[in-house]
Structures are given as C-alpha cells and as structure tokens.
Amino acid sequence: MVEPVDFFFCLYCFIKGVSSICPQDYLHQYYNLENDHLVRMKRSEPSFISKVKEMQFFFGLNSTGVLDPETLQVMQSPRCGVPDVEEYSHIQGTRWNKNVLTYRIGRYTRDLRHSVVDSLIESAFSVWARASGLTFVRTNSHNADIMVEFVTYAHGDFYPFDGPRGTLAHAFGPGMGTGGDTHFDDDERWSAGAAGYNLLVVAAHEFGHALGLRHSRNPESLMYPTYKAFRPANLLSREDVANIKALYTPLKVNRNLPLRPLMPRLMQDKCAPDMTFDAIATLGNATFFFRDKYLWIKHNAQSDIKEGPISNFMPMIETRIDAAFWIPRRSTAYLIHGSYVSLGSVVREKPRSLSFFGFPAWVQDVDATVHIVKTRRTLFFMNDIYWSYNENRKVMDFGYPRSISDDFPGVNTTINAAFYKRNFIYFFLGPQVYKFDYTHKSIVGVETANAWLGC
C-alpha cells in the first residue's frame, strides 16, 4: 500500500513538472539516513523525522520533520552529488600537499565543442587559483591529480548518476587514487550560458570539493549544494574566499625535523609473476581488482590504471576484500569481507552477515562471486562447491550447493576471483585466468592474471 505522503509527493511533482525522487533516497544519499533495501522506512519513524529536520535546518527551512511542499521542492532541485553532512570520500580540512596541481580532461560532453569545454574548465580552476594562490596546469598524463570526465549512470566509482536533473556532478576530495577526480552527468544539458546547466558554475563548485571544501549553508556561497542558474561575475562569496585561504595557508614547518610526505604511496608490483587477486568486479565502465588491502581500477575504454590502498578509494573499508560483484540494474555493489557484506553506497552502509543471502550458519566466508546479468543469478564459490542466488526472488535456488567441477568443467581448484562479461566468466585461479564460455560450458582460453593490468 502506498502511504498518503507518497501520493501527495508524486502529485506535487507531477504538477510542478519535475522528476520524483523518493525522500528516503534523498536523505540516504545526502544526510546518511540508514536505508534498508528490503524494507522501506515509514515517515513516522524517529530516525526519518530526525533526518528531515536535519535537512530542513541545513537549508534554512522550518525544522518540523514534516515533508511540506517547501521541503519537497528543495529535494527536487538539481544539485551536487556530494552529501551535505558527511563527505563520502573526505572531510573538511584535507588538502593537497603541493601548490601546483595538474588536471586532465578525459571524456568530453556531447553538448559543447571541445575547445569550449577546455576554456570553461580552465576558467573554473582560475576562480580558485586567484583566491588560493594555487596553480593549475593542464596535462595529457593519465596520472593527473584531477581527472575531469563527462559520464552517465554507473561509471566505476560506486556513485552512479541518475539521468536528467537530480544529481548534476560530484567530486572527490584531495588524495591518492580517485582523489580530486570530478565527474559530470552527461545526461544533463551543458552550456556556456543560461540554457540547461552552466558548466562554469557547476565546475567551479565541484573543484571546490576537489580542493577540500564541503557544502555551505549560505545560499550566496558557491559551495551551496543546489544549482543556481545566475550568479554574479565574481563566483566566490566572502565565505568561499575565507575558507579556501584558511585551507591553503602555508604550513609552518619545523626546520629541525625531516620532511615527510603527507600521503605516502606504497606501490605494489602488479607485474610480479605470481600476481593474483582476491576479488574482481566490473562496476559501470571500470573494473576493480582487489588484493590484500590494495586496489587497482581500470577504465575499460582507457589505458590508464589508478591504484592505491583500498582506503584511499573507500575510506570506511579497512579490511581486505574476499569477493565482490555488481548488480547493474540496481547500480548496487556488494563487497564481501569475511562473513560480512557491505552493499549499496559501500562507504555508508553498515556491514551485514552472509546470512543476508540465505546461507546456512556454517558458511562463514566465500572465495569468489560473480553476477550473471543474463540469468539474474549471483554465483557464490567456496572451496569445491557453489550456490546460485536468485536476485529477483531474493532466495537461493533449490538444489544448491552443487559441485564446481561438475558444472564448470576444467575448473578443478579453488577460485580466487571471478567476473562475468559478454557471456564469458573469467575465473582467476592463482596467477592464471580461465576464460569460460557460460553457454557451451567449456574453457576457451587461458592467460596470466596480471595481463589484465597491462603486464
């Protein structure tokens, strides 16, 4: 049964001609509301009301906890994808430990000529350069500090876009790996003027996050979360200037102490002959390779590979990942570590037990997982047996577990990692990868695991 508030909310959105976003989803994404994917939260629950009040306070509304039209209108406003109360990749105060930052524009929007995009992005960086004393240099290197890209829906960073309106863009705070990277939803209409969404305004806002700033409650601030079509010639408010200057005031250094880098980078030898992986998952247009507490991210259409400790990309994941898979139609990632599962926007969900999938109590870990898009089944491998989970019905299929060697001829040892792509399952067995034809049930190729990282 649809709750009354849902009906009036949808009617309101229909009258206003805007796309409807569920209030729970809004509060979950931007205000850290704990969201149970199996049971929808009632509007009368104290935790829901508390988050509504928190959101109303942030935007200067009457903090009643009631979803009144003014509150709903703010929820429907196009905005930045970074949360208002808890950064999903950084906290206020993080900063780059250098004064010259490089940036690279990867994928361009279809709405503007490349030269126009180049000019607008440069202008957006200049807004902060004038206020902070930082220097921004464009480069063609895949190792640029800040990667700028126009993408759609799931695009390999656990934060999929939602189509037109809604979330316009998001950026990660300073750091290794995805640190500084800025993504724009290419399902929006980008422009250099008042039509659609002004790229200069949105880019300048997102670059504020890339430099370490959080959202502001001041509607005059560039760092205000919702989009404003018209701004004065000087995009930064006094508050913005004060915040960026405070963040990048030159650090006082004790000359008697040796200097140490703020963000040490412990590289791993990806081309070692015994290289193998603990877990692999394809998320959107990127493939994630996990080993111990380290991660490589390879964008499928590009040659560059980002790498670093898992915590650089997912701050709340502090353990190794044993298995991982991605459900494209739900844009949901599952990371399994021991007997626990993190799901959804992985850095904000509390881990759950493996019993979430219906495993018997004696199953305390799994070796590998793979989601078969065609059948909508997720396969869980452990030692020499495996289970099949029905993602539609949310139950284990009858007759499992079954023998791996019976159903996957040629796969006769423990599976370290696996993922599915274009009707093939790639089984990572130690330092080798077996390409398995899922339709004909046969191995059709073997290669080394690190070949996937360009070795």
Q: What is the 3-state secondary structure (H, E, C) of 262-274?
A: CCCCCCCCCCCCC
State whether 38 and 180 are in the same domain.
Answer: no
Q: What integer pLDDT is reported at residue 35 of this predicted model?
A: 59
State whether 33 and 158 are in the same domain.
Answer: no
State whether 291 and 437 are in the same domain.
Answer: yes
Tokens for 46? 């104290």
C-alpha–C-alpha distance, residues 228 and 241, integer Å: 19
State whether 128 and 70 are in the same domain.
Answer: no
| Proportion of the chain above pLDDT 90, given as a percent | 38
Say if 260 falls within a structural domain. no
Whether 318 is catalytic: no
CATH at residue 171: 3.40.390.10
User: Domains in the chain: how many in total?
Assistant: 3
Say if 135 falls within a structural domain. yes
Q: Please, are residues 322 and 96 in contact by the beta-carbon 8 Å criterion?
A: no
Known binding-site residue numbers for Zn(2+): 80, 155, 157, 170, 183, 205, 209, 215, 223
Known binding-site residue numbers: 80, 111, 145, 155, 157, 162-163, 170, 179, 181, 183, 185-186, 188, 205, 209, 215, 223, 278, 280, 322, 324
Residues in Cβ contact with 30 at an 8 Å cutoff, skipping those fewer than 6 apart? 55, 83, 84, 85, 225
Residues in Cβ contact with 211 at an 8 Å cutoff, skipping those fewer than 6 apart? 95, 96, 128, 132, 134, 174, 244, 247, 248
pLDDT > 80? residue 312 = no
Pairing, β 368-372 against β 190-191: unpaired
State whether 198 and 61 are in the same domain.
Answer: no
Domain housing 44: 4-76
- For the segment 252-282, what is each residue's pLDDT rounded down to a tens digit? 444 443 433 333 344 567 788 888 899 988 8
State whether 316 and 448 are in the same domain.
Answer: yes
- Name the residue among 80, 92, 70 with its Cα closest to residue 30: 80
CATH at residue 47: 1.10.101
Q: C-alpha distances in angstroms, 265 versus 97, 260, 329?
A: 13, 12, 35
Say if 155 falls within a structural domain. yes
Lowest mean pLDDT among 190-194, 233-237, 254-258: 254-258
Say if 220 falls within a structural domain. yes
Which entry of 54, 87, 149, 206 is annotated as an active-site residue? 206
Average pLDDT on 139-161 reads 88
CATH at residue 329: 2.110.10.10
pTM of the model: 0.62
* Of the residues 206, 223, 247, the one at which a domain ends: 247
- For the segment 154-168, what is each residue's pLDDT rounded down to a tens digit? 887 878 898 898 899
State whether 69 and 122 are in the same domain.
Answer: no
